[in-house]
Amino acid sequence: MDDRPIGVFDSGIGGKTILTATKKLLPSENFIYFGDSKNCPYGDKSDEELKTIVKRAAEFLIEKNVKLIIVACNTATTRMIGFLRESFPGLPFIGTEPAVKPACAKNNNSIFILGTSATIRSKRLNELIKKNIHPSQKIVTFPLVGLAEAIELKDETKINNCLEPLKRNFSKEELSSTDAVVLGCTHYPFVLRELKAYFPNADFIDSGPGVARQTKKVLEKNHLLASAKTPGSVEYYFSKPQE
């Protein structure tokens, strides 16, 4: 049993979607959330820059005495989870990956996977697709360039501009016959309404439940679950003031 908090970080508000799912599954846990809005988007940063950025985020949470860190960002997970685990041995890190497995496990014929350029290009996403795809399924991967940043800025015009390429690259039939859309960036659940206009018949699948289950598993395995049965607390910190 361990009543220290769980640390969660992202390049801004996106990780809140992961936090919500984890809090739902583990209501007695305490959480410290760090939204690194100052450095959003992580996707634009070089490896060297990103190393400094994620190390600082982890150190901030470690100073708050966390027992585990959730990297609530697909981009940071893809590029930095190995570096973080090496830099802080002994501290469990949970990564966030696009929910390809649940999307493929269901009876979905046509699946879209959306994410940042870094996530869509990543070797890990390719591996996930190869491992989970059924022969009858068609999977399209597509980067929504600039969307995470536009969501962070709450800029409606920019958000709509970032979604436009869907219209330019795919026919209406293709979009409307899509059964499932994997939200491969933790910011994207915030624009579900806008995405639904493009994919009117799709189920939207995000990484929250998978990360929550994995967090529970790792806490159990390491005897780190909170002892309290009362609801836990959440503290929020941002590297730039939020409105």
By annotation, the residues acting in catalysis are 73, 185
Residue type at 183 in one-letter notation: L
Of 21, 26, 66, 73, the residue at the interface with ligand DGL (CB under 6 A) is: 73
Residue pair 37/238 in contact by the 8 Å Cβ criterion: yes
Beta bridge pairs of residue 207: none
In the bound complex, what is the minimum distance in angstroms from residue 69's beta carbon to ligand DGL?
15
In the bound complex, what is the minimum distance in angstroms from residue 101's beta carbon to ligand DGL?
17
CA dist., res. 20 & res. 37, Å (int): 18
Q: Is 95 in the site for ligand DGL (CB under 6 A)?
A: no
Tokens for 83? 């570096």
Q: Is 110 in the site for ligand DGL (CB under 6 A)?
A: no
Q: Is 186 in the site for ligand DGL (CB under 6 A)?
A: yes
Residue 85 half-sphere exposure, CB side, CA atoms within 13 Å? 12
For residue 221, is it left (φ>0), alpha (ψ between -120 and 50) or beta?
Answer: alpha
Residue pair 32/237 in contact by the 8 Å Cβ criterion: yes
Q: Is 41 in the site for ligand DGL (CB under 6 A)?
A: yes
Residue closer to ligand DGL, measured from CB, 129 or 182: 182
Three-state DSSP state, 230: coil
Of 5, 7, 10, 120, the residue at the interface with ligand DGL (CB under 6 A) is: 10
Q: Is 187 in the site for ligand DGL (CB under 6 A)?
A: yes
Provide the binding-site residues for ligand DGL, judged by CB under 6 A: 10-11, 14, 40-43, 73-75, 116, 119, 148, 185-187
